[in-house]
Structure 1
Amino acid sequence: MTHRADPLDSPEPMAPARSDTDPAVIRLALIAVASTLLFASLGQTIVSTAMPTMVADLGGMEHITWVITAYLMASTIGAPIAGKLSDLFGRKAVLQTGIGVFLVGAVLCGFATSMSMVIAGRLVQGAGAGTLIVTSMAVVGDLVPARQRGQAQGLMGAAFGISTVVGPLLGGFIVQHWSWHWIFFVNFPVGALAFVVLGIALPSRTDHSHKPIDYLGALLLTTLLASAVLISNMGGSVLAWSHPGVLALAALCLAALVGFIAVERRAPEPILPLSLFRNNAFLVVNSMGFLVGMAMFGTITFLPLFLQVAKGISPTQSGLFLVPMMGGLLAASIGAGRVMSKTGRYKALPVAATALLALAMLTMTQVSGETPLWRIALSMVGVGLGLGPVFSVGVAAIQNSIPRSMIGIGTASANMFRLIGGSIGTAAFGAIFGLGLARNLDGALPEGASGGIRSMSAEMIAGLPPEQQAQIIDGFSAALHPVFWIASCGGLLACAIGLMLRERPLED
Structure 2
Amino acid sequence: MGTDRAAQKPLPESARRTPLPPGTYIGVFGLLIGMFLGMLDGLIVGTALPTIVGELGGLDRFSWVVTAYLLATAASTAIWGKLGDLLGRKGVFMSAIVLFLVGSVLSGMAQDINQLIAFRAVQGLGAGGLMVGALAIIGVLVPARESGRVQSMLGILMPIAYVAGPLVGGFFTDHLTWRWAFYINVPLGAVALVVVGVWIRLKPASHPVRIDYLGASLLVASVGSLTLLSTWGGITYDWLSPQILGLAVTGAAATAWFVQVERRAPEPLIPPRLFGDRNFTVAQVLSFFLGAVMLGATNYLPQYMQFVKGQTPTASGMLLLPLMFGMLVVQTVVGRVISRTGRYRVYPILGGLMSVLGTMALLTLQVDTPVAVASATTLVLGLGMGFMMQSTMLITMNSAHPRDMGAASGSLTLIRTVGGSLGVAALGGIYVARLAEELTNRVGADEAASLSGAGSVTPERLKDMPQQLQHAYEAAVTSGLHGTIAAALVLSALMFLVSWLVREIPLRTVAGQDLEDDATPPHGLLEPERDAAPPAR
Q: What TM-score, normalized by structure 2, do the two folds share?
A: 0.82
User: Is residue 2:505 matched to residue 1:501?
Assistant: no
TM-superposed deviation, 1:379? 2.1
Greater alpha carbon shift after TM alignment, 343-352 vs 97-106 = 97-106
> Which of 357, 360, 384 in structure 1 is aligned with 2:358?
360
CA contact (8 A) 2:166 2:318 kept: no
Query: Hey, what does 1:381 align to over in structure 2?
Result: 379
> Which of 189, 193, 196 in structure 1 is aligned with 2:194?
196
CA distance in structure 1 between the partners assigned to 2:308 and 2:186 by the alignment: 40
Query: Hey, what does 1:463 align to over in structure 2?
Result: 467
Q: State percent identity of aligned pairs.
A: 35
1:18-63 CA distances to partner (integer Å, 9 max, x unpaired)?
A: 42612xx121022111111112333344445566777788787876
CA distance in structure 2 between the partners assigned to 1:237 and 1:255 by the alignment: 24
Change (3 A) 1:319 1:207: closer
CA distance in structure 2 between the partners assigned to 1:124 and 1:241 by the alignment: 30
> Which of 252, 258, 272 in structure 2 is aligned with 1:260?
258
Query: Hey, what does 1:19 align to over in structure 2?
Result: 19
Query: Hey, what does 2:276 align to over in structure 1?
Result: 278
The residue identity in structure 2 corresponding to 1:187 is N
User: Is residue 2:78 matched to residue 1:80?
Assistant: yes
Change (3 A) 1:219 1:156: farther
TM-superposed deviation, 1:158? 6.9
Query: Hey, what does 2:522 align to over in structure 1?
Result: none
Q: What TM-score, normalized by structure 1, do the two folds share?
A: 0.86
1:266-325 CA distances to partner (integer Å, 9 max, x unpaired)?
A: 111111112222221221112112222222222223322233344343444333322210
CA distance in structure 2 between the partners assigned to 1:482 and 1:379 by the alignment: 17
Change (3 A) 1:134 1:157: farther
CA contact (8 A) 1:325 1:383 kept: yes
User: Is residue 2:485 matched to residue 1:490?
Assistant: no
CA distance in structure 2 between the partners assigned to 1:35 and 1:114 by the alignment: 30
Give secondary structure in 2 for the equivalent of 1:449.
helix
Greater alpha carbon shift after TM alignment, 34-43 vs 427-436 = 427-436
Change (3 A) 1:296 1:107: closer
CA contact (8 A) 1:232 1:423 kept: no
TM-superposed deviation, 1:346? 0.4
Change (3 A) 1:158 1:389: farther
Change (3 A) 1:51 1:155: same
CA contact (8 A) 2:349 2:496 kept: yes
Unmatched segments (≥5 aa) in structure 1: none
Change (3 A) 1:46 1:5: closer
TM-superposed deviation, 1:473? 5.9
CA distance in structure 1 between the partners assigned to 2:39 and 2:384 by the alignment: 21
More contact order relative to length (CA 8 Å, sep ≥ 6): 2
Query: Hey, what does 2:32 align to over in structure 1?
Result: 34
CA distance in structure 1 between the partners assigned to 2:103 and 2:445 by the alignment: 46
What are the equivalent positions in structure 2 for 1:28-107 lying under 5 Å apart? Answer: 28-48=26-46, 65-107=63-105
Query: Hey, what does 2:131 align to over in structure 1?
Result: 133
TM-superposed deviation, 1:257? 1.0
CA distance in structure 1 between the partners assigned to 2:255 and 2:10 by the alignment: 30
Give secondary structure in 2 for the equivalent of 1:272.
coil
Unmatched segments (≥5 aa) in structure 2: 510-537
1:450-486 CA distances to partner (integer Å, 9 max, x unpaired)?
A: 6366278753886129xx94x8866764564454344
CA distance in structure 2 between the partners assigned to 1:253 and 1:11 by the alignment: 41
Change (3 A) 1:161 1:220: farther
CA distance in structure 2 between the partners assigned to 1:496 and 1:224 by the alignment: 27
User: Is residue 2:146 matched to residue 1:148?
Assistant: yes
What are the equivalent positions in structure 2 for 1:283-298 lying under 5 Å apart? Answer: 283-298=281-296
What are the equivalent positions in structure 2 for 1:269-348 lying under 5 Å apart? Answer: 269-348=267-346
1:169-191 CA distances to partner (integer Å, 9 max, x unpaired)?
A: 43454466656655544433332
